[in-house]
Amino acid sequence: MKVWALHLALILLLGVALAVLPPYPATTLARILVLAVFAMGYNLAFGYTGLLSLGHALFLTSGVFAAGLSAQFWGLTAGPALLLGILAGGGVAAAVGLLALRTAGVSFMIVTLMFAQAGYLAVLYFGTVTGGDEGFNLPAASRTLLGFDLSTDTPRFVAALALFAISLLLSLVLVRSSFGRSMVAMRENEERSRMLGINPFTVKLAALVLSGLYAGAAGAAYALLFGYAGANFATIQYSILPMLYVLLGGAGTTIGPFLGALLMFGLIEVTSRLARLWPVLEGMDYFLIGTALVVLVLFAPRGILGTLRERGLKWLP
Amino acid sequence: MAALIETRDLTLHFGGLRAVDGVDFTLNAGEVHALIGPNGAGKTTFVSLLSGRRLPQSGVILLDGEDITRLPAHQRVRKGIAYTFQITSIFPRLTVFDNVALAIQSRGTKGLVPQTRAALDRVGLAEFEEQEAQTLSYGHQRLLELAMGLALHPRLLILDEPTQGLAASEIEGFKALVQSLVPDTTVLLIEHNMEVVMDIATRITVLNFGQVLASGTPEAIRANPAVQEAYLGA
């Protein structure tokens, strides 16, 4: 009860924020919501199941280009393009998982990283179709959902919030289900799970595919809402970012990924403003962010919500 | 009595070490069978082969006449072979309830909550269900381990040194619990506490250097000169 109230209150609060904020910060918030969906997916694999992937940029990119290219070449509108993006994210995650899940730990990190880099090079190699480094802008005609123009503010905010809300509530239901318990069992003690009759490979593959569906949805939504598809989504940066969001907000908490994404954006904003005040800080944004993260890992290794949960808020899912 | 488990010429060597060396073994349905032997005799390795944690180099394992030699561990669990660990292996950061629920949900999620509570009741841990497993005392963790094994409703329950580290009063409770399981569940027990073995085992197999030294009733084992020499030390 308390749990549902908290999640619904957060969604409501975000709705109000999108409605009252001026267009520029509201657009940034919409971006954060879409990236939070990506991070929620990452959290299902990493935070709950213990799968430390360095290849999620590939799943995001699959969503970006499945939506972007189908809009560009087949003239799909946002609804079907989003669906295609979700399926692409899940499908690519399944293919990668079938191979990469034969490994664990550091090898799993390396294999997923390798797949993601191969994906990045493929996007560049097929530059005539994907637009390579420059990418391409999605045709305006494709950016409509149920008759609303997603390139205008209100429909864009509503769509971002709806995607976020559905993703958040789904992940809440998922992690409180018996399948969610099996996912956590993988993270905590895989060998024991096996001796309880659970097939670790099946559980981990299912978790990775779910994670890929989230990443695909986020990628497709990003392309459709902000009108751009490009190779930058495939760079390693987009594999690292969701990990940072999740670590900052709290791995294995439902709201942690959003909180982490919000704070990282905030941190970047603050450091770039500081740099304008004191030119000596120019170009040191990432240094300051890095310092903040080191401090976090030292003093709150479970992230913000993970620490709160440890210090008494045990009911936090 | 029908054989629940039968092994023929079961072998696993680690380099030059013959951990399990041509073991022919029969476990009858409904018995409490104790596996004893000096440290390093291959007891834990042998039950690892039965439960599927390790695969043998040669030999055959039959469960109710069906060859399960190459079957993965989780599928053997579903066929009714449960294993509880010598070194307590629970999910320390999950609640006591979740630990047992994980065992139960592998057979389906219908009636998960009442079944989990019943399994906890059986070992007397019901009042701790909301606690994180790592906060339990050692004795209670051993009981939780046992509850997880029982929750699988196994046909064969393999207990690896279950009384290690338990207080005398807890051992009495444990013996009563094991005796309440048979004959529905067959129990294979690795145990160093000879009092427990002599009290509850209906049959005993003695392993030494990976081979079966003797097998028989407690009385026969006690009287066996070879066993006395190798293990009981007379």
ipTM of the prediction: 0.83
pLDDT for A69 equals 92
Q: Map residue A317 onto helix, strand or coil.
A: coil
Q: How many CB pairs under 8 A join A and B?
A: 66
What tokens were used for B175? 């013996």
A181 contact B CB<8A = yes
Sign of CA dihedral A126, A240, A185, A255: negative
Closest Cα in chain B, distance from residue A174 (Å): 14
CA distance B210 to A218: 57
Per residue in A164-222, pLDDT (tens digit) is 999 999 999 999 999 999 999 999 999 899 999 899 999 999 999 999 999 999 999 99
Percentage of chain A modeled with pLDDT above 70? 99
How high is the mean pLDDT of chain A?
90
pLDDT for B155 equals 93
CA distance B4 to B76: 13
Q: Domain for residue B19, yes or no?
A: yes
Checking phi first, is residue B156 left (phi over 0); if not, alpha (psi -120 to 50) or beta? Answer: beta
Closest Cα in chain B, distance from residue A197 (Å): 4
Confidence of residue B232 (pLDDT cuts 50, 70, 90): low
Does pLDDT of A292 surpass 90? no
Q: CB of A38 within 8 A of CB of A214?
A: yes
Task: Test A192 with B89 for CB contact under 8 angstroms.
Answer: yes
Average pLDDT of A223-234? Answer: 91
Q: How far apart are the first and last CA of chain B?
A: 32
Beta strands in A41-130 (DSSP E): none
What tokens were used for B96? 């006591």
Nearest CA in chain B to A180: B102
Sign of CA dihedral A46, A51, A57, A61: negative
A134-148, A243-257, B77-91, B116-130: the lowest-pLDDT one: A134-148
Q: Domain for residue A219, yes or no?
A: yes
Task: Test A185 with B91 for CB contact under 8 angstroms.
Answer: yes
Does pLDDT of A130 surpass 60? yes
Q: Which residue among A178, A188, A200 places its CB closest to the CB of B91?
A: A188
pLDDT for B234 equals 44
Q: How far does CA A35 lie from the centroid of its chain?
A: 5
| CATH code, A206 | 1.10.3470
Q: Domain for residue A175, yes or no?
A: yes
Average pLDDT of A281-294? Answer: 74
A196 contact B CB<8A = yes
Q: Which residue among A182, A184, A195 places its CB closest to the CB of B77?
A: A195
Q: At residue A295, what are phi and psi to the nearest 5 degrees?
A: -60, -45
Average pLDDT of A269-278? Answer: 80
Nearest CA in chain B to A179: B105
Identity at B186, one-letter amino acid code: T
Interhelix angle for A237-249 vs A256-277, to 10°?
A: 110
Average pLDDT of A82-94? Answer: 96
Which of B53, B74, B84, B90 to mutate against chain A (most A CBs within 10 Å)?
Answer: B74
From the list A29, A144, A125, the residue with the least C-alpha distance to A81 is A144
Task: Test B51 with A195 for CB contact under 8 angstroms.
Answer: yes
pLDDT for B1 equals 56
Q: Map residue B162 onto helix, strand or coil.
A: coil
What tokens were used for B178? 């094991």
Interhelix angle for A200-226 vs A178-188, to 10°?
A: 110
CA distance A184 to A192: 12
Confidence of residue B183 (pLDDT cuts 50, 70, 90): confident
Q: CB of A137 within 8 A of CB of A64?
A: no
| CATH code, B9 | 3.40.50.300
What tokens were used for A76? 């799909």
A7 contact B CB<8A = no
Task: Test A191 with B89 for CB contact under 8 angstroms.
Answer: yes
CA distance A314 to A107: 33
Percentage of chain B modeled with pLDDT above 70? 98
Report chain A's C-alpha Rg in angstroms: 19
Residues of B in contact with A193 (CB under 8 A): 102
CA distance A72 to A60: 18
Nearest CA in chain A to B146: A196
Q: Domain for residue A77, yes or no?
A: yes
Average pLDDT of A68-85? Answer: 90
CA distance A99 to B158: 34
Residues of B in contact with A188 (CB under 8 A): 91-94
A18 contact B CB<8A = no
What tokens were used for B108? 């389906």
What stretches of chain B show up as alpha helix (H) in DSSP? 43-51, 73-78, 96-105, 112-123, 138-151, 168-181, 194-200, 218-223, 225-227
Planar angle of CA A127, A132, A136, nearest 5 degrees: 105
Residues of B in contact with A196 (CB under 8 A): 74, 77, 102-103, 106, 148, 152
Residues of A in contact with B75 (CB under 8 A): 197, 199
Per residue in B60-82, pLDDT (tens digit) is 999 999 999 999 999 999 999 99
pLDDT for A290 equals 79
A178 contact B CB<8A = yes
A83-87, B136-140, B199-203: the lowest-pLDDT one: B136-140
Does pLDDT of A137 surpass 70? yes
Closest Cα in chain A, distance from residue B77 (Å): 5
Q: Domain for residue A315, yes or no?
A: no
Q: CB of B202 within 8 A of CB of B32?
A: yes
From the list B25, B12, B8, B19, the residue with the least C-alpha distance to B205 is B25
pLDDT for B12 equals 94
Residues of B in contact with A195 (CB under 8 A): 51, 53, 73-74, 77, 82-83, 85, 89
Nearest CA in chain A to B149: A196
Per residue in B11-53, pLDDT (tens digit) is 999 988 899 999 999 999 999 999 998 888 899 999 999 999 9
What tokens were used for B125? 């841990």
Interhelix angle for A78-100 vs A56-74, to 10°?
A: 140
CA distance A271 to A260: 16
The one-character DSSP state at A138 is P
Task: Test A184 with B92 for CB contact under 8 angstroms.
Answer: no
Average pLDDT of B126-147? Answer: 89
Q: How far does CA A4 lie from the centroid of its chain?
A: 22
Does pLDDT of B182 surpass 90? no
Closest Cα in chain A, distance from residue B107 (Å): 8
Q: CB of B113 within 8 A of CB of B95?
A: no
Closest Cα in chain B, distance from residue A3 (Å): 17
pTM of the prediction? 0.88
Task: Test A197 with B77 for CB contact under 8 angstroms.
Answer: yes
pLDDT for A164 equals 97
Q: Domain for residue A29, yes or no?
A: yes
Q: Which residue among B74, B82, B89 places its CB closest to the CB of A198?
A: B74
Q: CB of B117 within 8 A of CB of B129?
A: yes
Q: How many domains does chain A have?
A: 1
Does pLDDT of B233 surpass 70? no
Task: Test B74 with A197 for CB contact under 8 angstroms.
Answer: yes
Q: Domain for residue A316, yes or no?
A: no
Task: Test B109 with A199 for CB contact under 8 angstroms.
Answer: no
pLDDT for A179 equals 93
Which of B75, B98, B106 to mutate against chain A (most A CBs within 10 Å)?
Answer: B106
CA distance A247 to A301: 8
Q: CB of A120 within 8 A of CB of A60?
A: no
Does pLDDT of A162 surpass 60? yes
Task: Test A196 with B106 for CB contact under 8 angstroms.
Answer: yes
Q: Domain for residue A317, yes or no?
A: no
Q: Domain for residue B45, yes or no?
A: yes
Q: Domain for residue B96, yes or no?
A: no
Q: How many domains does chain B have?
A: 1
Q: Which domain holds residue B198?
A: 1-70+186-234
Task: Test A182 with B102 for CB contact under 8 angstroms.
Answer: yes
Does pLDDT of A56 surpass 60? yes
Q: Which domain holds residue A67?
A: 2-310
CA distance A238 to A243: 9
